[in-house]
Amino acid sequence: MLSDLKKLTATIFYIWPMFLRVILLSPFALIYKVVLHLRHGMFNMGVLKSKDMGHKLLKVGNLALGGSGKTPFVEYLIRVFGDEFEMGVVSRGYGRENDNLKNVTVDDTAEEVGDEPLQIKRKFPIIPVFLKGDRCAAISALRHSHGSNEVIVLDDALQHRKLMNGLNILLSSYERPFYKDFLFPSGKLRDLRSRAYSSDLIIITKSPTILDLQEETRMRKSLAKYNKPVFFTSIKYTRPQHIFSQKILENKVNEHAILVTGIASSQGMKKDILHNAKDWTYFDFGDHHSYSEKDIQKIIEKYGSINVDTVIFTTEKDAQRLTRGRHVHLLKELPIYAIGIEVQFLKEEEKFKNAIRNYVRTNSSFS
C-alpha cells in the first residue's frame, strides 16, 4: 500500500503544478488532516496506549514522505557515537518480504530485510540491526539479545506513537522545509506540522555547503515558535566504489556517465556527479525499486550502445539490490560504482553532540 502511495506521490509532485495540487486536492488533504488529529488525540487522551520502553532511544524521523536523509543521519550517529556508547538500530525495514522480527546479517538480501537496514549493517557489521513494524517488540528483542545498556537508534520512528520515551530528532530538508509544505496529497507532509512541537532537536538537512546567512536567519525565525535547537547540515558524497570489487574510482570525469537511482530525491546527486561528464544518461526508478532483469538489460544495452569512455554510477542504497539476485552475473564486468552520502554539520556540531551525550548520560538507567 505504501509503495502505491509513493508512486501516486511521484505522479502528483512531478507532473502537477503546485497551485493545481493545493487547490484540487485540498479536500482530500482536509480529510487526512482530520484522521491525523483523531489519531493523535486518541494517543494524547490515552485511548490508544503508548508503551514505556525505557530510555536511551534516539528517534530519527521526519514529517514528509521521504527525501530528508534519515538513513545517512542514522549512519552519522553510529559513526560519531559508536565508539563512545554501545549502540543498536531498530527499523521497520521498508520494502522487505514480510514483517517478521529479524536480526539483520551482512549476508541477508534487500528483499529479506530492506535496502536501508542492509546498507547500515554492511557498513557497521558489529552494530545489531533489528527489524519489526512493532518497534517495541524489536527494542525488546535487541535488548534481550545484546543487553539493556544499548543506545538504540530508531530509523523513522517519529510517527510511532506507541513508543513513549526517547529523544526525538526531526529532519527536514533545506529545499522543502516542513513549515512551507502541505499535507498529502496537496503537499508531501505525512503528518501535522504541529508534531514538530514534540521534537527535541530539529535538523535542516541537505543545506548548501555555504549557507546564505539571510536565508538561515529566515529559516530560524520560521522555526522559532517550536522552541527547539536548530542545526544545519549538508551532505558530502563519498568516492565512487565498485559495487563488486570495492575498487575506488579515482577520476569521476568521463566522456559519458550513466546514473541509475531508485531513491526519493536524486537532484543533489545529479548535480554533483553529472557535471563531471560531457554527456549523460539517467535511469530514474522509484524509491526502494526492486530491479528486474528487464531493468538491468536496459542499462546494459544503453552502456553497450555508447562508443566513448563511460562509467555507471548508482547509490549505496541501490547497490544493496543490484549486488544480489539473478542479474548479478550481467553486472559484474561493468564499470558500475556506488556513491555514498555522509552528513556534515555546517556549524554547532559540538553543541549537537553534547545534546546527545547529555540525553544518554541523564537517562543511563531504565524506568
Task: Write down the pLDDT at residue 6.
Answer: 52
Select from 234, 232, 203, 185 the least CA-distant residue to 65: 185
Select from 251, 214, 230 the least CA-distant residue to 345: 230
Does the pLDDT of residue 325 top 80, yes or no? no
Task: Write down the pLDDT at residue 13.
Answer: 56
Task: Write down the pLDDT at residue 2.
Answer: 47
313 CB-near residues (< 8 Å, 6+ apart): 240, 257, 258, 259, 260, 269, 273, 336, 337, 338, 339
Task: Write down the pLDDT at residue 9.
Answer: 57
Q: What is the pLDDT of residues 77-104, one digit of tens each?
A: 999 999 999 999 999 988 888 899 999 9
Task: Write down the pLDDT at residue 16.
Answer: 59
pLDDT-derived band at 252, boundaries 50, 70, 90? low
Q: What is the pLDDT of residues 25-38, one digit of tens each?
A: 888 999 999 999 99
**Cβ neighbours of 91 (radius 10 Å):** 29
Instruction: Give pTM, 2 decimals.
Output: 0.90
Lowest mean pLDDT among 57-66, 212-221, 272-281: 272-281
Give the percent of the chain with pLDDT over 90: 63
pLDDT-derived band at 253, boundaries 50, 70, 90? low
Does the pLDDT of residue 54 top 80, yes or no? yes
Does the pLDDT of residue 62 top 80, yes or no? yes
Give the percent of the chain with pLDDT over 70: 93
Q: What is the DSSP string of 20-72?
A: HHHHHHHHHHHHHHHHHHHHHHHHHTTSSPPB---S-EEEEEESBSS-S-HHH
Q: What is the pLDDT of residues 143-199, one digit of tens each?
A: 999 887 789 999 988 888 999 889 999 999 999 999 999 999 888 999 999 999 999
Task: Write down the pLDDT at residue 366.
Answer: 37
Task: Write down the pLDDT at residue 5.
Answer: 54
pLDDT-derived band at 329, boundaries 50, 70, 90? confident
Q: What is the pLDDT of residues 98-144, one digit of tens each?
A: 899 999 999 999 989 999 999 999 999 999 999 999 999 999 999 99
